[in-house]
Structure formats: C-alpha cells, structure tokens
Structure 1
Amino acid sequence: MFPVQASLARSAFAFWDPLGLGRAAVDYWQDACERSVLYFDVMRERGNQYLEHIDKTAPNVLGFDAEVLLDGRTLTHPVNYELMRIIAPQDIEIDEDKRPFVVVDPRAGHGPGIGGFKPDSEIGVALRAGHPCYFIGFLPYPVAGQTVEDVVEAEVQFLRHVIDLHPQTTERPMVVGNCQAGWQIMMAAALEPDCFGPILIAGAPLSYWAGERGRAPMRYTGGMLGGSWLTALMSDLGDGHFDGAWLVQNFEKLNPANTLWSKQYNLYANVDSEANRYLDFERWWGGHVVLNAEEIQYIVDNLFIGNRLSTSQLTTRDGRRIDLRNVRSPIVVFCSQGDDITPPPQALGWIGDLYDSVDDIQANEQTIVYCVHDTTGHLGIFVSGSVSRKEHAEFTANMDYIDILPPGLYETTVTEKTEDAANPDLIDGDYILEFSPRDLDDIDAIVQTNAEDERRFASVARVSDINLGLYRRYFRPWLQAVMTPEAAGLMRRMHPLRMGYKLLSDRNPATSALPVMADAIKADRHQVADDNPFRVFESMLSDQIVSGLNTYRDIRDQSTEQAFMAIYGQPWLQTLTGLGASDDSRRHLNCPGAEPEHRRFVEQRKHELCARIDRGDSHHAVMRALIYVLGGAPSTDERNFQRLKATRAEVEPNIDLASFKALVREQFFILKLDSHAALDALPTLLDGERAEQIEAYLEHIEHVLAASGPLDERCEARLATVQELFGRAKPAVEPESSPASTTRKKPAARKKKTPPSGSSS
C-alpha cells in the first residue's frame, strides 16, 4: 500500500534515523494500512456470506454431506426439525452393525450444524470410529403453533426411525445433545427411555438456579428484569415470534472484551492467516433463527426462571410427568470450568435436586458419569478440535464400556497415555479414560448449594408469575391490536446484530472499492515483523483495552449479584410471595421427594433380587466376582473393559452385549443388597462345573483385573476371597476325562446350563 510514499519516507529517515525507529514507524504504518483494508474486505465477505446463508431454505454449517430422511413438518404435530443421515467421506468406512450415533444441535438463537462443523467435531469423531451418524437440525422459522413438547415428541419419532433403519443391532442409538438440545433430549429420554442408548449432554444447563457466587452471572438476569414479562413483550413485538438474535446478544454481553474488541482485533492483527477461520465461525454465529412465542415462554418460565425440569414439576399435555429419574440410559455430563454460559453447577446441580444419595441413584438403576474440563469455553465443549480429539473421541470409543457400568455416580478423567502404561495395546488412541466412583458430596463441592440463594430464586419465580400476569392482563391486548407481521419483520431486519452484517456487504455501495484494493495488497503485501516496536506497542495497547473491559465486566457482574441478593433476600418480599407459609424447605424450593410409588418400586425390586441370590450359573458367578473385586478399587479404566470384551468370547460365548449389560446390573444390585449372602452363593452358582472349568473362570477374572495394572491391597484381599470361594466349588473327585480334555488349558465351550426362571441370561 502506498509504495512510492513509503519508499521516499524510508530514504529520508535513512540519514536522520540511525536507530531505525523512523524506518520501523514507516514499515508499521504501511502494514497497518494494508491490514485495515484486508480487515474490512473480510468483513465485507462476512456480510455477503450472511446474506447468502439466510437466503437458503434450510441453512446449516455442517462440514459433511447429508440427506434428509424425515421432515418434522409432516408429523402429526408438525415442527421445523428434520432428521438427516450424514454421508461419510469416501476415505471413511461405516460399519452398519455398529451402534448409531445421533447428534442433536441447540436451537438457542443460532442455526444448526455446530456439532458437525468441521472434521474434528462430534460427528467427525463418530464417523472415524465407523458409526452410522445422524443429525437432528432445524429450519430458521418455526411451524405455526409448534411447542417445546411437539419438538420433544418429534425427536422421539426421529430416534425410532433411526432404530428401524438398523434392525441388525440390538443397541439403542447413542445421542449427543449440545447446550439447549441437552435438556431437550433429557426430557425425551424421561418420557420414552426405551429409545435411547447412552446420552452425552455437552454444556447443557439443567439446573438453572445453581451457580457459584462471583460466577454464573446469567442466572441473575431473570430476577433483575422482573421475570419473564420482557420475553412476552419481545414475542408480541415480533407478532408471535421471538427473534433468536436477542439470545445471541445476551451471550455476547457476557464477555464484552471479546465481543467489543478481542474477536475483531485478533482478525485485524492476524488478517493474513485468520480470515478463513473467522468467516467459518461467523457463518454459524450470524445464522440467527426464530422461535415461536409459546416455545420461548415455556423455556423461560419453566426452565430459566422456574427451574422445573430438574425438580420433576413438568407434565405433558396428556398428563405424563417429566421426571429425569425415569431415564434408563447412562448419562454422560460434559462441562467446563471455563464455561460462563453453562458453568459446572448448572450442568450438574440436577443430580442433587433429584437424588438424596448415591444409594438413591442406584435404586433408580441410573448410571451418571461426569467430566469437568479445566479451561475450554462454552463453544469449545463441542467445537474445539482439541476437545474432540481427546474427550469426545474417548467417550465415543468407550460408549459400550459406559453402557455396562454398574449403576452409580462416576467422575471420568482423560489422561495422556504414557510409555510405561500397563497393557498399552488395550488403550484405544492416545488417551486413557478412567472412571472413579463418587458420591453426592463431590457434586455438592462443585454445585455449592446455598439454601438462602435457592429461596431467592424461588422468590424470583413467583414475582415473575405476578408480573407476567399483569402484563398479559393490562398491556398485551393493546400491543397485539397495533402490531402487524410487516412491522415485526422490519424490527427483525433492523436488529443491531443483523445490521452489522448487512452494512458491510456488497449491498452497501461504499464497499465496492474494497475487493480491488484487497487484491492489489495481496499481490504485493508488506507484512511487518513481530518484533517491530510499534507492532509490540499495538499488542500492549490491545491487552490494556481487554483488561479495562474485563474490569468493567467484573464490576458490572459483582454489582448485579449484590443487587439481586439484596432485593430478593428481603424477608418481606419472600413472605409476600408465599415462601414464609411453610417450613418445608423441599416443598417451597420445589425439590422432589421420595414418592410412595417409588418406595414401593424399590421394595418390590429388593424382594425380587433376594430370590435370585443363589439362582443362576457360571455367567452370574464370574460377573458377581468381578464386580465384587472391582468394587474395592478407587477407579477403573477402559483397559478392564477391553480385556473383558476380548476374553468374554472364550469363556462366555453365548451372551450378547445387551444381555451382558443386564447381567452386570443384576449382579451389582445383588451384591449391593446383601454382599455376604451373594458371596456365599458363589459355590452354588458353580455347582456342576468341572475343576478345570472353574480354573478357567478364575484365570479369566484375574486376566481382566490385571489389565489396568497391579491391584491394591483391598482388591487383592477381595480377589483372595473369590479364589477361596471358587476353590470351594470344585468337585472333591474329578470325573474321568479323555486325554484331549486333560491337555487343554481352557475349555473350548462351556457346558450349557438351563438358567432358572427369571434369570437375566
């Protein structure tokens, strides 16, 4: 840019500038001018990309080809969702016998596709693992009258269609729900648990009142605005539609330093290398969608403000209760300390809301696994390539292992495989997935439940109902009488976020010279070195701007929190909203208790299991022994499962994975119910087996246990107990054997026994 002027300036400074500062200034000035032109040209491309994207009938940002299998607009209760099959790239081979993999994208202001945004994504990981992949996305505008419940029912029908497409596998689909889609599929799984395999919810808020003081500022928004009346107002201004751009704007306000400076400055400072990445992300970030007024009002009233999902207060139109304790699939919760939209307390708080103890989780036959990342942000949970290559790859590769984990609460960690790791051939990839048993105290340490804060949020919910009622009674009729579809459409088009894209596009005549100037600069680019003193000063100035905006954010959030605590902590306000009428904290905080029908179910289940303690065969004995020994271990990892999977075919050849999972759960509960009686029954379960067969079962158990390294003292003691009980089961006198049978170390096939009535085999 300006080569003649720059050349003359350099010549003038050559004599008078022995330190080179003048030359450095000229070089920096030329580079800064060129970067400015290139920056605005990228913004022009962003605007053109936005206009092209919104003109599509079904826009998405998937990085893979896909075909629509089922259109939600054709269902009995039509919705703007659709089921798509992902077409694998030519260099990837799909095994149709593997468990189907379904990704559900969030409809929280942005368009669909973020779960398959690039090769290193949730869909990309599953494709490389050979799974048939499906994607549930949506269109920009809702069907008239569609509700959240309609969407949930549509997702259930989509999953049933996926199951019908894979009759050869008995395993239900693994379902991934990102952000808003996480609570949506949890609702669906609570209503139709038989349609779901393992569920992975990534960055999904389920407990909206939870949060650590000094963090999670979004949870105060509803209270500071006086409840959900403003949501109703914006929906009425949209003539029955809510513009998702308002949700996106809320996200952007959380981090003003990034929104107002860092994101744009990073592009300007590195415009030669960052343009494509920036444009790819903006294609999704700017793809704003619209929700029905009924949908957003349901979400805000029942979830954001009412917190009714994690407390089992929601019911369907036909009277069914949405109770997350009905979910029968393993649930993997993936969250991050660096996530300011869905912090770990909001991702995990529902566990303490629904369950009194780990025993309660186990009584509900529920398996919950959680993983807390240290640093990644909200979008990084399901967009970051490093996260996909590590956590998502391990979750996908070990879903069968998670599927057979005994009921309970586990924390999982993903650590890098080291050179001295035991049995490295049993580790899938470059990382080890380890599971450690946890109890609710560990969850409480993350959630930091505060009863006084819970009472404040309960006050917000009731104040919101009052204000919403006043708005609907006295203001809405007047607004609806004057609002027209044309006016609502104009307001959406004039939204500041949308205008930011449109103003810098080819529709603006002032940008016509940008592409010509940018091409000329790219042909003769004069990029300054990073050690240029003026470039260094620019970076320092940027850091100061970021620091200042972060300070503003911290003061704003701290002030908001203090105001919220002061206003909604007033005893008179809590009394006026009805919270002082009872001392039953679980009632006024909307916490579900142990219902009589649930207690009857647990007691009935105990009686059934008591009758099965000494009924079964070697399948039951081997699994009971393994669970008993591993139950004394502080943790277990994928190597135990890989060894078990590899050797099960030798010792237990006639059991499929679904039956194996049922067997694990049954034996776990039997040991939990009465461990002494369960162990004493081991010789009975092995009655009739030959001594060499019993030895083969013991070798199998020891082989599996040794997979993850040496056992600790407690597990060694438990293994010794199992060895003694298996030895007691050996017949006193071995029957005559043929020469062939005396020479083999393990039986080629186990003697088949007829399982007793009611057995899981």
Structure 2
Amino acid sequence: MKAETPNSSQGKSRYEAGPEADTPKLPHLAEYAVDAWQRSILYADVMRQRGNQYETHRAERVPNVLNFPSEVVISGKDLPRPVNYWLVRIVPPHDKPADHMKRPFVVIDPRAGHGPGIGGFKVDSEIGVVIDAGHPCYFIGFLPDPIEGQTIEDVMHAEAAFLEKVIELHPCPEGKPAVIGNCQAGWQILMTAAMRPELFGPIIVAGAPLSYWAGWRGRDPMRYTAGLLGGSWLTAMTSDMGAGRFDGAWLVQNFENLNPANTLWNKQHHLYANIDTEAPRYLDFEKYWGGYVYLNDVEMQYIVDNLFIGNRLSIAELRTSDGSRIDLRNIRSPIVVFCSYGDNITPPPQALGWITDLYGDDEDVLTHDQTIIYATHDSVGHLGIFVSGAVSRKEHHKFTTNIDLIDVLPAGIYRATIAEPAQKDGAVPLDNFELSIEPADVARVRDIVQPDPESDRRFNAVAQLSKINLGLYRQFLQPWVRHTYTPQAAQWLQAMHPLRLSYEWWSDQNPLSSHIADTATKVRKQRVAIDDDNPFLQMQEIGSQAITQALDHWRDARDSAYERAFEWIYDSPWMRIITGQTGSDEPAHAGPCTAPDHDALIQQKITELRTEIAEGGALEAGIRALIYIHRFCSSIDERRANLLLELHQPDCHRGFDMASFRDTVRRQANIMRLDEKAAIASLPQLLARDNPACIREIADGVARMRDFGPLSTAEESSLSQMLGIFDHAVTSHALKLP
C-alpha cells in the first residue's frame, strides 16, 4: 500500500484518509494507542530493513553510495605506489551530455570513517550540480580496506596520478580540472596541490579542517579531545588492537558523541513520528552512515600526530619523504573555502585559521600570488555542507557555474556571498541566485578565527606531551598489545564494535524479524489516521522536546567541563615544566618561514611589471578599464565580473586558452596595484596597437556595465572617462587613414 502523506489542507488528519475515513472516531486515547502501536511496528520493520541493507552493502565488492552510473578509469592498486583509491568517470544521462569543451571537475570524498559517495549521494549533490552545468565529471573514491603499508604520501601521489589522467583525457583550453575536496579530502587535496600545483585548476574545499588548534572558547570542544586523553598514544593502541588497522567506526562514534540529543533520541524519534513518509530518506542516509572503512596504522598516526595534534599543515612544517616542504603558499590555483557556523566538526576557525597562520598581512598574500575566496553558511551542519539539497542548489551551483570567473580572480582574499531574490510563491529558480564577490583582507579573516596565543600555547603543550606519552607507550605497552591482539582477535573486536552491533542485531537473521515483517505488511493495509490535534500526540511532541532539551543541557555541561579541565591541566605549572614551556611569553610556534630567495623574486617581478606597463593591446586596456571602474565597488556580482571573460572574445565560453587569459588578467591587476596612474595613462598607447573594430568591441563590452543596474556616481564617472579614452583611440585611428 502506498504510504500516506501529510494532509495540511484541512489541519485535522495527519495522513490522507483511506477507506477507514468513514469509520467512527475512537476516543483520543484509544485512537492514539492504535496509532502508536502501528507506528512501533512500522518503525521496527524499517530498522529490520536497515539491518538487511547494512549486510548487503557490506558484502559489495566496492561499497559506496554513489547515485550516478560510473566507469573505472584507474585503480590505485595498479600504481607504482599502490593504494586503495580509484578514479571513476561519471556517466552523464543522455539528456544532459557533457560538453568536452568545458573544464572537467573531480570530486573527492573524505576517508574519515565512512565509505565513499557522499558527494554524489543524490541528484541534488555536488556531482549532480556539475552534471547539470555540462562539465565532464570524475570521482575519486576508495575501498574499505587499505593496501598494506600505504601512507598518506602514497595517497597524495595517487591523487596526482589521477589528475594527470584527467588532464590527458581532457586537454581542455578552458583550464586545468576543478577539484572539490570534502572534509578530510580537503586538506589532503591541498597537500597534493602544494606538492604538484601545475595539475590543478580552482580548488573548492568544503567543511575541511585545516587549522586544528583554532576555535572559539565555549564552543566546539572536539579540539580538546587529544589533550584530555594525553595525546596520540591511544590512537596507536587502537591501531595495534586492530592488528595494524584503525577502525573508522571509532571516528564515527566521536562524531555521534558530539550531539547526544540527535544520536540517542532525535534521529530515531523523527523516524518514529513520521514513519509513513520518512523511511526512504532514513534508509538512504543509514546506508552511508553505516559503511565503515579502515585506515592503516601509519596513515592514522600521521593524521593525528601531524594534523590533529601537531597542527603542522597550517604552518608549513610538514615535509615529504624526500625532504620537500608541504607549503600551502605554493598553490597557484584559487582556493574556495566553504564552511558553516552550524558545523561542530569543522567550525569556521578551523576552516580558515590556516590563512592567519600563514599570512601576516595582505601584502604577504599578494607577494605569494595567492587567491583565496571564503564563503560561510549561517546554520547548516557538517554533513549538510556536502549532502543538503538546498546547499547544492545554491552554493555549489553558483561555485560550479562561475568556476571560470573564480579562476581569473587576481591575487588577494575575497568573500563570496549568494543573494536570494525576493520570491513570493514557489521555489527560487537557480539562475535567480546571484553570486557576489567582495574584496576582503587578513584582518576580516582574523575577526572570524579570533586567534588566541594563550590557547595555542596550551595546544603546543598537548603536542609535546603527546610525544612523551607515545614514546612511553611504544617502549612499554606496544609489544604486549601487538602480541595479544592477533588478526583473529582484531576481527572479533571490530565485529563487536557497538555501532556495528546496532545494525547487525536486528535484520532478517534475527528469528523474530519475520513476525515483524508480516505484521508490518498488515499494518500498512489497515493504517488508521490520527488527527494533528489529538492531545496525546501533542503530549508526545512535548515529551520529545523535553528529552531533547535535557540531553542538550547535559551536552553543554559536559562540554563546559571538558574545556575547564583542559585549561586547568595545561595551564598548570607542572604541565609547563613537563612540556618544556618555561616562559609564558614565548610563542607556541614560530611563524612559517619563506623561501630564502622570496624577496629577490618579488623585486624581480616588480621590475618586470614596470616594464610591462606600456605593453599590450585593446584586451589589456579593457581589463585595466574594468579594474579601474570597479575600484569603488564594495562587491562585484557575477554578471559584472563575467565581463572580464566576455572581453576576450564574444563567445568566451567556447574553447579559448583560459590559462593565458588568466595570466593576462592577473598581470594587469598587479600592474594596476603597482602604479594605477601610469597604467591608466598608458591606455592610449595600448589602444594604438589595435584596429578600430577591435577597440569598439572592447569598449562595447566595458559599456555593458550599465546593463546590470545603476552605477554609483563614482563608477559612472570612471566609466565615462574610460569610454572617452576608447572613443579618442578610434578617432585617432580614423585620422591616420589616408
């Protein structure tokens, strides 16, 4: 029988009434009792389906929740340094073929406890948005079990090999592949980009933790966990108890512990209260949530020691096995950082803190020729950044459709916002959202991150204590643990993990499940409607809210206790002595160093730019004119900014050399920053090198700024000044004709 749906038109029945609509209504208590019993049976049956789904998913050769057809391009097992990753091509539907003149996208999922596919979990997803925009799309996923001995560096080399293959398959004039890294895939792909910057187009990192020491006092206590546990020795012991593998179910359990109200009550109660409509969505998500994977002990130890506790990525202290430093300032591609104030896994300070760690001021960003765009969401949670259909239809859609604009932005820090137009009825069409990009600075990012030197000293003490405790564990306990936990014992321990048992205990393998399945079939045929105004139903909701509030209060008290304990322990004199922090004024870590020849290279670039002020033609003149007009704008919407692309040629989205054009735009922006007066004064000289038709075409493109709404007085004055220069150039050409 088809599940009933809520009936809001009459405000009486919770579900569309079937044949029982004519049945005389029972007293409220009896009516609620029947409804509650039926919902209990249906709930138990959904949980049975959940257990069956878990067993089926676990038995798959390549478990994933990717909701798009795909074909394998490269298996990481075949690489010189084999890994359990693979590159697949997403096969677009027949009615939405990929345009191979557009740059390809590569979506990478996090290997943080769950299996792959969350970036293509449903139609409204990152992959779905890329397909709708007509771009070729690829996906990097992984198998549940790592290759023995594989390291994080091996995974970086594999990702580089995958991108090399994508570039080989798509020698696209629009530019190198755009890459989307979710959560932990974000920091991993940035490490790869720092090692191989020539392989990357724009990089979008969503909910990616990059600066683990950062955070706001009184919020998001997950960063205190390592300090309260004494460092990474427990990570090493957990891997040893897994016979060399770290069970990702422990990472998932850490996530669930952050919000006990949702884990222990809300998620299940929401299913129970909406059992007639919620089951498909619940089962889809649980397929992902229960798909646990493993990491090698060396992989997990590297992550915890160097990132979670050491915080070494955001200060350029990581090195590869050949001694090369992994410095995010080496990345030449634009980096889009997307984070949310509602994310308790990667709050904005952890997503953006690397900027304030690496750069002292705006000049530092410019001299490293980096383009960083950040966007924040007000409320969506961690998984919602990748899963929420609303986020995909808005933020990810605008990032994808404006990827070429993002690619040509000059060096600097920008803030991206997406305005939603007023809409009285119905959903807002995607094209009606408008992306605006406004210049920002390190100071604005610092206001979000709120760096705290005293907090950094505490986390530095954690890093030092972790080294001590890890050394003690390896010296005294590790040999005994490794001897005790054989592969067979490790498999038993993993099978008995509470999260796995929560799926396995109730499925068709349970003898009682057949009775529930039969009863649920009968209940669906005899489902009794219940009114929204039933007082017992309202009492149920009030009780649920009370349970949620109680669990939230307990969480807040627990988190506050964690923070106070952390600060008390690592502010104590004896801890300072143990960890070697003798002076309170010494910084937690020195600022990242720059290359020895950095200053010399900057002076060389400045000299080159001064010689290029009078070089170029009408295109360069048009770019300078737009930059000159936009200097008064607090933000630039996507329509105005895309004029830069349209200046290159009328059909600018069809196969021109994006890399060359990007270099031209960035060079002209640097010239304008260096000497605006000289750059504008040389415009007639630039225009004299082109013919009148080309000059008129560029001038018409610049004048189109008026098509996108009224200009300010300063903008209109600057536009008129620029058009006057272009008109004079055309006239001068005419006077030269015989």
Which bracket does the TM-score occupy, shorter chain normalised? Answer: over 0.9
The equivalent of 1:515 in structure 2 is 517
Per-residue CA distance 1:174-203 (angstroms, 9 max, x = gap): 110010100010001110011111111010
SS in structure 1 of the partner of residue 434 of structure 2: strand
What is the distance in 2 between the residues matched to 1:312 and 1:293? 24
The equivalent of 1:751 in structure 2 is none
What is the distance in 2 between the residues matched to 1:658 and 1:478? 57
Residue identity matched to 1:603: Q
The equivalent of 1:452 in structure 2 is 454
Residue identity matched to 2:592: P
CA contact (8 A) 2:203 2:335 kept: yes
Per-residue CA distance 1:626-652 (angstroms, 9 max, x = gap): 112212211101101444444542599
CA contact (8 A) 1:690 1:734 kept: no
TM score, norm. by length of structure 2: 0.93
1:170: Cα distance to partner? Answer: 4.7
1:721: Cα distance to partner? Answer: 4.5
The equivalent of 1:411 in structure 2 is 415
Residue identity matched to 2:108: V
SS in structure 1 of the partner of residue 597 of structure 2: helix
The equivalent of 1:398 in structure 2 is 402
SS in structure 1 of the partner of residue 431 of structure 2: coil
What is the distance in 1 between the residues matched to 2:647 and 2:721? 22
Residue identity matched to 2:419: T
1:600: Cα distance to partner? Answer: 2.2
The equivalent of 2:631 in structure 1 is 631
The equivalent of 2:227 in structure 1 is 223
Residue identity matched to 1:536: Q
CA contact (8 A) 1:651 1:697 kept: no
1:481 and 2:483 aligned: yes
Per-residue CA distance 1:6-64 (angstroms, 9 max, x = gap): xxxxxxxxxxxxxx997110010011111111101110110111011111121100111
Between stretches 608-617 and 334-343, larger displacement belongs to 608-617
What is the distance in 2 between the residues matched to 1:734 and 1:547? 78
The equivalent of 2:19 in structure 1 is none
Residue identity matched to 1:559: A
Between stretches 144-153 and 666-675, larger displacement belongs to 666-675
Per-residue CA distance 1:519-573 (angstroms, 9 max, x = gap): 0101111132221110010000000000000000000001111111121123442
What is the distance in 2 between the residues matched to 1:53 and 1:101? 27
CA contact (8 A) 2:619 2:647 kept: no
Residue identity matched to 1:265: H
1:88 and 2:89 aligned: no
- Structure 1 residue corresponding to 2:102, chosen from 84, 98, 101: 98
- Structure 1 residue corresponding to 2:236, chosen from 216, 228, 232: 232
Matches within 5 A, 1:526-675: 526-580=528-582, 585=587, 588-646=588-646, 648-650=648-650, 656-675=657-676
CA contact (8 A) 2:703 2:723 kept: no
The equivalent of 1:26 in structure 2 is 30
The equivalent of 2:471 in structure 1 is 469
1:341 and 2:353 aligned: no
What is the distance in 1 between the residues matched to 2:468 and 2:355? 30
1:608: Cα distance to partner? Answer: 1.6
Structure 1 residues 368 and 524: CA distance shift in structure 2, 3 A: same
Matches within 5 A, 1:129-140: 129-140=133-144
1:253: Cα distance to partner? Answer: 0.2
SS in structure 2 of the partner of residue 313 of structure 1: coil
1:92: Cα distance to partner? Answer: 1.7
Residue identity matched to 1:569: D
SS in structure 1 of the partner of residue 338 of structure 2: strand
Between stretches 169-178 and 654-663, larger displacement belongs to 654-663
TM score, norm. by length of structure 1: 0.90
SS in structure 2 of the partner of residue 624 of structure 1: helix
1:358: Cα distance to partner? Answer: 1.9
What is the distance in 1 between the residues matched to 2:539 and 2:422? 42
What is the distance in 1 between the residues matched to 2:185 and 2:443? 28
Structure 1 residues 496 and 234: CA distance shift in structure 2, 3 A: same
- Structure 1 residue corresponding to 2:184, chosen from 180, 183, 205: 180
- Structure 2 residue corresponding to 1:159, chosen from 150, 157, 163: 163
What is the distance in 2 between the residues matched to 1:734 and 1:164? 47
Per-residue CA distance 1:64-96 (angstroms, 9 max, x = gap): 111111100111111000001111123322112
1:590: Cα distance to partner? Answer: 4.3
What is the distance in 2 between the residues matched to 1:267 and 1:50? 18
1:384 and 2:410 aligned: no
Structure 1 residues 75 and 582: CA distance shift in structure 2, 3 A: farther
What is the distance in 1 between the residues matched to 2:245 and 2:689? 71
Higher relative contact order (CA 8 A, sep 6+): 2
- Structure 1 residue corresponding to 2:495, chosen from 478, 493, 496: 493
Coordinate RMSD, CA, aligned: 2.2
SS in structure 1 of the partner of residue 531 of structure 2: coil
Residue identity matched to 1:152: M
Larger Rg: 1
Moved over 4 A (4+): 581-584, 650-655, 688-696, 723-733
The equivalent of 1:272 in structure 2 is 276
Residue identity matched to 2:630: L
CA contact (8 A) 1:417 1:431 kept: yes
SS in structure 2 of the partner of residue 335 of structure 1: strand
Instruction: Give structure 2 stretches of 5+ with no counterpart.
Output: 1-23
Aligned length: 710
CA contact (8 A) 1:100 1:131 kept: yes
1:690: Cα distance to partner? Answer: 5.9
1:132: Cα distance to partner? Answer: 1.0
CA contact (8 A) 2:145 2:293 kept: yes
SS in structure 1 of the partner of residue 451 of structure 2: coil
Matches within 5 A, 1:267-416: 267-416=271-420
Per-residue CA distance 1:561-600 (angstroms, 9 max, x = gap): 1111121123442344233369552xx4243144432222
Per-residue CA distance 1:670-728 (angstroms, 9 max, x = gap): 1112222222222222235566764554333222x324322223333433543455566
1:483: Cα distance to partner? Answer: 1.7
Structure 1 residues 608 and 72: CA distance shift in structure 2, 3 A: same
What is the distance in 1 between the residues matched to 2:692 and 2:282? 68
What is the distance in 2 between the residues matched to 1:108 and 1:126? 24
SS in structure 1 of the partner of residue 336 of structure 2: strand
Between stretches 668-677 and 120-129, larger displacement belongs to 668-677
What is the distance in 2 between the residues matched to 1:724 and 1:453? 57
SS in structure 2 of the partner of residue 429 of structure 1: helix
Residue identity matched to 2:364: D
CA contact (8 A) 2:617 2:690 kept: no
1:396: Cα distance to partner? Answer: 0.5
Residue identity matched to 1:706: R
Matches within 5 A, 1:202-213: 202-213=206-217
